[in-house]
Amino acid sequence: MSNSSPPRPEPAERWIKSHCQQCFNACGITVQVKDGKPVKIMGDVDDPTTLGHLCARGLSGVA
């Protein structure tokens, strides 16, 4: 009997944290990923500088 468990399937939808790289401010973002592709960007409310706010450029990072 093996102790290794089978690999978990990748969830179809998830949110990951990252940083916007469209200017030097590098605002915190959360990215909605569906089937391995980014589909939506929102501000990261845990970012102490932006408090979840993004400019229009940052919000339109995924079209």
Q: CA-CA distance, 24 to 18, in Å (whole number)? A: 14
What b/e string do you get for 5-21 counting C-beta neighbours within 10 Å, with b at 16 or more? eeeeeeeeeeeeeeebe
Q: Which stretch binds ligand SF4 (CB under 6 A): 1-9, 10-18, 31-39, 52-60?
A: 52-60
Closest approach of ligand SF4 to the CB of residue 25, in Å = 4
Task: Provide the 3-class DSSP secondary structure of residue 59.
Answer: helix
Among 16, 23, 51, 62, binds ligand SF4 (CB under 6 A): 23
Task: Choose between 6 and 48: whose C-beta lies nearer to ligand SF4.
Answer: 48
When asked if residue 62 is in the footprint of ligand SF4 (CB under 6 A), the reply is: no
